[in-house]
Amino acid sequence: MSFTATTPKIVVPLLCRFLISKRPVVSWESHSLSKAFTTGYCLHHPRGVKPKVQRSKVTGWVLPAEGSVDLPGSTTSDERSDVRNDEIELHHPVMLREVMDVLKPTENQVLLDMTFGAGGHTKAILQSCPIATVYALDRDPVAHQLAVDLAERYPSRLHPLLGRFSDLDSLLKSSHVDPNHFDGVLIDAGCSSMQFDDPRRGFALSQDGPLDMRMDGTRLPSNPSAADVVNSLDAETLARILKTYGEERHARKVASMIVEYRDKHKPIESTQELATVVSLAFSHRQSEDSKDALGRRMHVATRTFQALRIFVNDELNELNHGLHAVKPYIRGGGCGRLAVLTFHSLEDRVVKRFLQGRNVNEKGRSIHERKNSSDWTAEEEEHKSTEWEIVHKKVLYASDHEVSVNPRSRSAKLRAAFKL
């Protein structure tokens, strides 16, 4: 389900507000809100402080018609960070042993790391097999520069690529890569530790910084930031984003509080400011009792941050595009391997349905609904694909030891398959 914000009733108030506040009027670019799933995961963050702000009834803007969501694109902050070498050395690649067991790189093999990040998995592959070749893709210019620097240590063995998952096909063709080229492919979905740890990127609640959340940084200046989203869309559209991508049960209340604050006080510009505004929508008891699906304590704004990040970066669509784009480039006949790490069930469901050969937007049915239907068969329960052979019967999780060393791996799930 998608919406549009291009009608005069939406545009005029926006332009007036920008002019009154003497902010520059920015161009409008289309950004689609796609149909997605409704289960998410949360990160641990300290509870925010609630300032005393007078609350009043706010009249929301007119709900836009069906179509695309048009957001103002702006680029005012330079979030390109200088990553120190010691920080990179402290990076812990998630489920490294399990990933290496799946990929099993050997001499003369060619592999693709579709999420280079800080390069932990790529380094392990290059060090474990002195003759293996790795193509390293990342949409983040900071991560891409790290890959370029690492390529100097591994000349002709590491080939950095800058772009999104949806750019993969054109990038590989420009690099003269033919179909059935890769022996193994790795996708480590979601936000990287580097992005979370840099407050200038605006991903985390734990550190104050500009409300950005764009994984591409300023590489694509027309793309809207998280600040553009929360300061431009009406309450109804914001609520649908929070509900769809963050499974926020109080989405309407949170969206109304965001709109009320920005209209009566000022545009929301920082991560801590957004976290504080969101916390105003909850009682003290709700803030104290806030927990994620696994019963872990979390900040009440966690789901809001997750939803905005997924929406701003179009993460679920990109993941789906990437899986389908890389498929022709993986060797068939049971030789080529695909390993995918996900960190919440929205991503995991996209991967699971892809490996099962099901449409990502297909409405799911419980096992009881399938068994009671007239067309159910025993084989349908397993959704066996004729294109992939699943490596593990059940999804793999990080070990207790790894979680104790690297707490960010606690939500990680690994799915792997051979291409038939």
Give residue 132's Cα distance to chain centre.
Answer: 29
Spatial separation of the C-alpha atoms in residues 201 and 79, rounded to whole Å = 5
Asked whether residue 41 carries a pLDDT value surpassing 50, the answer given is no
Three-class SS of 215-271: CCCCCCCCCCCHHHHHHHCCHHHHHHHHHHHHCCCCHHHHHHHHHHHHHHCCCCCEH
Spatial separation of the C-alpha atoms in residues 22 and 397, rounded to whole Å = 51
The average pLDDT across 296-303 equals 82
> Do strands 184-188 and 110-113 pair parallel, antiparallel, or not at all (unpaired)?
parallel
Confidence at residue 234, expressed as pLDDT on a 0 to 100 scale = 96
- Give the closest residue to 241 by CA, choosing from 381, 8, 69, 9: 69
Spatial separation of the C-alpha atoms in residues 196 and 358, rounded to whole Å = 32
Q: DSSP per residue over 7-19, as a string?
A: SHHHHHHHHHHHH
DSSP symbol at 329? G
Q: Which residue has the higher pLDDT, 23 or 239?
A: 239
Q: What is the CA radius of gyration of the chain?
A: 22
Taking the whole predicted model, whether its pTM rises above 0.85 is answered as no
Confidence at residue 366, expressed as pLDDT on a 0 to 100 scale = 59
Asked whether residue 166 carries a pLDDT value surpassing 90, the answer given is yes
143: its two tokens = 């991560």
Alpha helices by DSSP H, listed for 109-215, are 120-128, 141-151, 168-174, 193-197
267: its two tokens = 């545009």
Range with top average pLDDT, 57-61, 184-188, 221-225 = 184-188
Spatial separation of the C-alpha atoms in residues 278 and 304, rounded to whole Å = 8
Confidence at residue 67, expressed as pLDDT on a 0 to 100 scale = 33
Confidence at residue 264, expressed as pLDDT on a 0 to 100 scale = 94
Confidence at residue 299, expressed as pLDDT on a 0 to 100 scale = 84
Q: What is the pLDDT of residues 324-339, one digit of tens each?
A: 999 999 999 999 999 9
Asked whether residue 198 carries a pLDDT value surpassing 70, the answer given is yes
Across 38-174, the runs of DSSP E, i.e. the strands, are 69-72, 110-113, 133-138, 158-162
Sign of CA dihedral 232, 235, 237, 239: positive
Of 55-69, 228-242, 272-286, least confident by mean pLDDT is: 55-69
Spatial separation of the C-alpha atoms in residues 235 and 31, rounded to whole Å = 17
Please, what is the average pLDDT of the chain? 78
Confidence at residue 408, expressed as pLDDT on a 0 to 100 scale = 83
359: its two tokens = 């449409």
Contact 416, 339 (CB under 8 A): yes
Banded pLDDT at 52 (limits 50, 70, 90): very low
Asked whether residue 271 carries a pLDDT value surpassing 60, the answer given is yes
Asked whether residue 54 carries a pLDDT value surpassing 80, the answer given is no
Asked whether residue 78 carries a pLDDT value surpassing 90, the answer given is no
Spatial separation of the C-alpha atoms in residues 131 and 180, rounded to whole Å = 19
Spatial separation of the C-alpha atoms in residues 346 and 40, rounded to whole Å = 6
The average pLDDT across 362-374 equals 63
53: its two tokens = 């702000």
Contact 189, 164 (CB under 8 A): no
394: its two tokens = 């059940």
Distances 66 to 7, 70, 249, 336 between C-alpha atoms, Å: 11, 12, 23, 42
Q: Residue 86 burial by CB count (10 A; 0-12/13-18/19+): exposed, middle or buried? A: exposed
Sign of CA dihedral 283, 289, 295, 300: positive
Residues 6+ apart with CB under 8 A from 257: 277, 278, 280, 281
- Give the closest residue to 336 by CA, choosing from 185, 158, 133: 185
Cα-Cα-Cα-Cα torsion 291, 240, 115, 355, nearest 10 degrees, comes to 90
Asked whether residue 82 carries a pLDDT value surpassing 70, the answer given is no
Contact 327, 337 (CB under 8 A): no
The CA-CA-CA angle for residues 197, 199, 202, to 5°, reads 105
